[in-house]
Amino acid sequence: MLKTAYKDDAMGKTQVFEWFSRFKNGEMSIDDKPRSGRPSTARTHENVEKIREIMEKDRRRTIEEIVELSEVTWSSVQQILTEDLGMKRASRTIPGTSLIC
């Protein structure tokens, strides 16, 4: 009935059963459990400072240019710019290319 009413916005049956099982066992969090794996090493203090210096020299650089100069992945550069340096996308100059200010 929920799928009929809410279409793709409704939670899937598998997810409902998983949450029900968690709640039945007394777990009240819907957050994913921690997973094993290699921790991210891109958002280090050194990389944040490297990207800060690149941006101080020219604040009109695209994320792609910063990736080339810093040798840090695109997603990590974007995360450092927005979360660590508090910068936001100012405009789009070329389709698929972001300009940060």
- Mean pLDDT across 57-84: 89
Other Cβ atoms closer than 10 A to 76: 19
Q: What's the predicted TM-score (pTM) here?
A: 0.51
Give tens-digit pLDDT for 13-23.
888 888 888 88
pLDDT band at 95 (very low <50, low <70, confident <90, very high): low
**Rounded Cα gap, residues 57 and 60, in angstroms:** 9
pLDDT reading at 40 higher than 70: no
- Mean pLDDT across 80-93: 75
* Site of tokens 């389709």: 95
pLDDT reading at 38 higher than 70: no
